[in-house]
Structures are given as structure tokens and as C-alpha cells.
Structure 1
Amino acid sequence: MLLLSFYSMSLLAVLGVIVDRMFGEPRMRHPLVAFGRYATKLEARMNTGHRARPAGMLAWLAAVVPPVLVAWALVSVLPPAYAAAVHVILLWFALGAKSLRQHIAPIARALSLGDLESARKLASRIVSRDTSQADENALSRAAVESALENGNDAIFGALFWFVIAGGPGALAFRLANTLDAMWGYRTPRYLRFGWAAARIDDVLNFIPARLTAASYALAGDTRMAWHCWRTQARAWDSPNAGPVMASGAGSLNVLIGGAAVYHGVLEARPTLGAGHEATPRHVVAALRLVERSILLWLAILLVFALMSASGHG
């Protein structure tokens, strides 16, 4: 059975979130590590500078299509109970809610203790900007931004595509998002080769990002979140990160964005949000906002599942 009913998919989505909450990332080496190594070798072989855009598109297809087709074949041929288990496992693979907290909460703790050196090292593991000279405010901003943006990339985007296309959909989203994180930079090396990865991720994220932004607005200071989303999001470089981060920052009444060093270059990013400069307490508040948004999504999924069940009763 290829895809289960909407009722079943909604319940399996809730189950996948519970599994992620209980176990987090697999204790063995995460499959994304192997995927990342394969993608790195693929890029080294195909990013030769000759016809870089077509090469990047072919590399994207070579990286994403085979594992998604295998997943699709599995849920197509297995009996419903086994297919349901595969769907949940694939969603567990795609989700990163517990991992997000495990990576960001220690930054807030280190900052609260005044341990800037530890906070810089922890932040450098989750952001691509240079944190070697970052102060408390800059590190807090980086952690808040990472929590808000990765709430979409590691949680809500995967949930959206799971409900739409089951485990294979969630897997495709996670792999596409990973390739965007690896190849989607506007550097001389990746500007043309990574164009396809960046644009595909933009398309897959368009609806989830706006649902995430709406969730952040509903789970915090709604009025300020809508205001920041409406007036600030378009100034951000990414068409999807803009709404997510502007809404999240407004919801938290915190200022994020601003200048940051990426790959040795100082980028003058616009300021998003309103209210206070970022502090360690805002990092904790951002994680709580993501948690409340998860509960909101689960509640909505359960309501739709019950409506679907009663409609077919």
C-alpha cells in the first residue's frame, strides 16, 4: 500500500514526533553522515566548472532520487502494518526536534555561566558564521536564529511533507534540505553548481516556511509576529527564512539578524524582530516557542485525523 489514509498519516506523524522525542537521533552513525560523504564525493567529481548548473542538477538527482525511490518501493509493496512502520522510521530519520534542543540548549547554559569560549565552540557546530570573536549578544542571536530557522528545516518542513507524501516525502525533504546546506552557498565554488539545490529547497520549503511562521505567530506575541513578518521578511536574503525568522523574532520580542562574518566576509544583514537585544534567556524562549509550535501542529493533526475518521465513519 503506497500511502495510507490521511487519518493514518496524521496519527503516524504524531507517532514519529513521539519517537523522536524519546530517542532523538539514532545512536548508531546517523544515515545523513553517510549521505553527506556521498554528496561530498559527488560534488568533487561533478563540480568541475564546466556546465556547472546542469552538473549541479544531475548531482542533485543522483543524490536524492535513488534513496527516495527505494523508500517509495518499500512502502508500496509492504503490507499496511509494515509500511506504517517504515513511514514512521523515515519520519524519525527526517525529524530533528530533540537534536535541535540538544545542540542549542547548551549554548544558553554556557552563556548563562559566562563561559564565552565554550559557547563559541558550541555555536560554531551549528552555524556557518565565524563565532571565534563573538560576544554574548552575537552568540545569543546566532542561537535564536538557528532555533527558529531549524524549527522549519528540521521539524515542520518534514512534518508537512510527511502528511503530503508519507515517509518518502519526509525523506526527500530532508535530503534536499541537506544538499542546500552543503551546496547552496553563493561562493565562487557553489554559486552555479549549487543553484539547483538552493532553488529546489526554496520550492519545497515555500509552504512549510509560511506555516512555520504562522505557528510561531500563534504561539507567542501574535500581533508583533504578524507585523514583523509583513514588514521585514522581504528584506531577508532567503525567501523562506525571512518569514520564519521575522515572525519568530517578533513573537519573542527580540532583535536578530545584523552583521555577521560568513566565509571570511562581513555580511550586513537586515535586522529582524523588535524589542530587546538577544540574551541567553531569549535562546531558551526560542526553544520553548518551537516546542509550543510542535504541540500546535500535533493538536491540528489530531483534529484533522478525527474529522477524517468521522467523515468516513
Structure 2
Amino acid sequence: MSNLINILISEQLLAYWVLVLVVLIEKFVYLPEKYHPLTLLKLMAQGMANKVVTSEPRQIRQQQIAGILAPLTLLLPVCTVIAVFILLSQFPLFFESIMLLTALKFQYVIKQTQKVNQALRSEKKILARQMLSPIVLRETEKLSPMGIVKANIESVLLRFCYQYCSVIFWYLIAGGVGALVYRVLYELSHSWNVKLIRFRYFGGPTRRLIKLLQLVPSCLTCCSLILACNLKLGATALTQVKSYKSLSMFILNISASAMGISLGGPAYYNNKKIRMPSCGLPKQVTLADNQRVLIIVNSATWVTMIAALLFYFLTYSTAQIH
């Protein structure tokens, strides 16, 4: 027993307890959107895009080159500030925790989902659309109540994989710096989303890089989701061909199958209707599913934290052997 306690309080596991503390702070201490550092980053990304991606027609190659240089331009000052703080600090773990807390921003999505639920329960469809709009890229003006719930669930699942668990994954691999750099790239990719016509080529390089960084953590997150929901139904979806059409389809089909509901279908982007493939099971979503997905995501968070602890135990054991 004493050996286990010594391991838990060892220096190698200190980074894990920082992760646990930051996860708890992020869950229970809500920082308003307008005061969050990532909001400033998004404003900078939008300002840069407005200057670079003009209404004048440009060659595809020019837009792609601009799309490579733009994230480097925004990342350079961020990395410089991080490097200065780490080099001058006597408590680097403190700054690691600050970087992780900055990167691990997800409660805004939870808060908006709760507002959507409240509006739909009060039969305020227009208000529900307005509450949904900040966390989805699609147009919400034409969504029915069922469409609102479906879009909300898809957003929560995808953002949980991309915004939350992927940040934790890169923290485990590369510390607070890795987590923050990943999140900055994700926010840039989201601001310059290739689903919008004007960013089709400009946002392409960042999109390809972020998809590569999301591949492994998103697959691992799906394992957490099906363990937190329904292992049998989720595992069945792993054998379906449509799960492997794209990373987002992989996440949605496995998660929807585990929840026993149907996701996907038509969505409007730039006044253009895009028919997304259906995924999951035939059962249509209900308002209760919008609350249930929050419970599942919360449970999956702690499954992920247990997996992170096992990762640190494995790292500790390997270090002891060598």
C-alpha cells in the first residue's frame, strides 16, 4: 500500500494531478467567452482572413501558400511568449497548467446546450436556434426542433473529441505547450473552415494538419464514449464501412450507434443544402437525448482520465525499469 502511495505522489505523476486539477477547474469555474484568451485569437484569425482572403479572384496556389503562412504568423508570437515564460519561470509546472487550462475550453459548449434544452422545453424554437448558432457552423434559421437537437448532439460529440480529448492527448504527449499549440491550430482551422466557400483553399493546409493531429485522439475518444454509453452497440458500428468514410463520420456513426439514435441528414452552409450521410440507428432523436449526451460526455471524461492515469503508470514503470 505504501508503495502505491509513493508512486501516486511521485514526481512522474505530478503532471497527471495537474491534469486532474485543471479538468476540475474547467468544469466548475466558468470563464465568460468574451474574456477567454482564445476569443482574442479567433478575432485575430478573422481579421487576418479578411485581409488575405479578399473578394478579388486569386489563383488557387496563391491561396494555398497564404494558408500555409497565415497559421505560422499567428503561432510565432504565441510560441515566443510561451518560450519566454518557461525559460524565466522557476515553476514551469504552473505555466503548464495555465496553458492547459487555456487550451481545455469546453464548458461554453455545455452551457449553450443547456440553454438550447431550456428553450426547447419552453417551446421557444427561435431562441433555441439562436442559442445553437454559436456552436455550429451550419445555418440554423430553418431547423425544426428535431433538427436543432440533432445538430446540437453532433456538435457536442465532435467538439468533445476535437476540443477536449484531443487537447488532453497532446498534453500527455507534449505537455502544456503541445496542448496549447494544438488548440490554437484547431481554432484557426475552425475559423477558416473549408466548408465555407471563401476558405476552401486558404483553410486547406491548416485543415489537413489538424485532421492528422486529431486522428489518434479521436479514435481513442470514441472508445471512451462507447464504454460510457453502450459497448455492444458502439462496437458493432466499428464493423460498418460507412464509419471509415471520414473522421467525423467515424465519430458520429460510432457515437450515434452507442446512443441508439440516428444522426446526420441535410444541413445548410452558405445557403446551399448539403445532404450528410445518415449514421447510427434508425431511432429519431428526442429532446431527452440532448440532455443524455451531456451525461455521456461527462462519463467519457472520467474514462479518459482513468486511461490517462494508466498512461502515466506505464510511463513510470518504464522509467523505473531503465
TM surpasses 0.5: yes
Q: SS of the residue aligned with 1:44?
A: helix
SS in 2 for 1:259: strand
SS at structure 2 position matched to 1:129: coil
Deviation at 1:11, TM superposition (A): 2.1
**Residues 267-309 of structure 1, C-alpha deviations (whole Å, 9 max, x = no match):** 0100011142111111111111110110111122234434545
Is residue 103 of structure 2 the alignment partner of residue 94 of structure 1? yes
Counterpart position of 1:75: 86
Aligned to 1:273: 280
- Secondary structure at the residue paired with 1:286? helix
User: How many residue pairs get matched?
Assistant: 305
Among 226, 244, 261, the residue aligned to 1:234: 244
Evaluate the alpha carbon distance shift between residue 54 and residue 28 of structure 1 in structure 2; reply closer, same or farther with a 3 A threshold: closer
Q: How does 1:154-233 map to 2 (within 5 A)?
A: 154-231=163-240, 232-233=242-243
- 1:164 and 1:35 map into 2 onto residues whose CA distance is 24
Report matched runs for 1:6-85 at 5 Å: 7-25=13-31, 29-47=35-53, 49-50=58-59, 51-79=62-90, 82-85=91-94
TM-aligned CA deviation for residue 310 of structure 1: 6.1
Deviation for aligned residue 1:210? 0.6
Shift of 1:59: 0.4
Distance 1:41 1:205, change over 3 A: same
Report the CA distance between 1:74 and its aligned residue.
2.4
Partner of 2:254: 247
Letter in 2 for 1:224: L
Tell me how far apart the structure 2 counterparts of residues 94 and 278 of structure 1 sit (CA, whole Å): 31
1:257 maps to which residue?
264
SS of match in other structure, 1:271: strand
Q: Once the two structures are superposed, what CA deviation does each residue of 1:60-107 show, in whole Å capped at 9, x if it has no partner?
A: 11112331342244234422xx21111111111111232221111221
Which AA in structure 2 matches 1:55? A
- Identify unmatched segments of 5+ residues in structure 2: 1-9
- C-alpha contact 2:262 2:281 (8 A) present in aligned 1: yes
Gap change, CA 1:288 and 1:247, over 3 Å in 2: same
User: Could you list the per-position Cα deviations for residues 123-170 of structure 1 after superposition, in whole angstroms to 9, with x for gaps in the alignment?
Assistant: 112112121121111011011101100111221011011111111111
* Structure 1, gaps ≥5 residues long: none
Q: CA deviation at 1:263?
A: 1.4
130-139 or 92-101: bigger deviation: 92-101
**Cα distance, 1:27 vs structure 2:** 7.5
Q: Which runs of 4+ in 1 moved over 4 A?
A: 306-313
1:242 maps to a residue whose letter is M
Contact 1:116 1:136 in 2 (8 A): yes
The one of 280, 298, 301 equivalent to 2:305 is: 298
2:272 maps to a residue whose letter is V
CA distance in 2, matches of 1:76, 1:230: 49
- Contact 1:7–1:304, Cα closer than 8 Å, also in 2: no
One-letter amino acid of the counterpart of residue 62, structure 1: T
- Closer/same/farther in 2, CA of residues 70 and 284 from structure 1, 3 Å limit: same
Q: Which of 104, 112, 135 is residue 103 of structure 1 equivalent to?
A: 112
Distance 1:275 1:219, change over 3 A: farther
* Map 1:103-182 → 2, pairs under 5 A: 103-182=112-191
Contact 2:234 2:258 in 1 (8 A): yes
Percent same amino acid at aligned positions?
23
* Counterpart amino acid of residue 289 in structure 1: I
**Structure 1 pair 162–5 and aligned structure 2 pair: CA distance change class (3 A):** farther
Choose the corresponding residue for 1:285, options 292, 295, 312. Answer: 292
Matched residue SS, 1:257 = strand
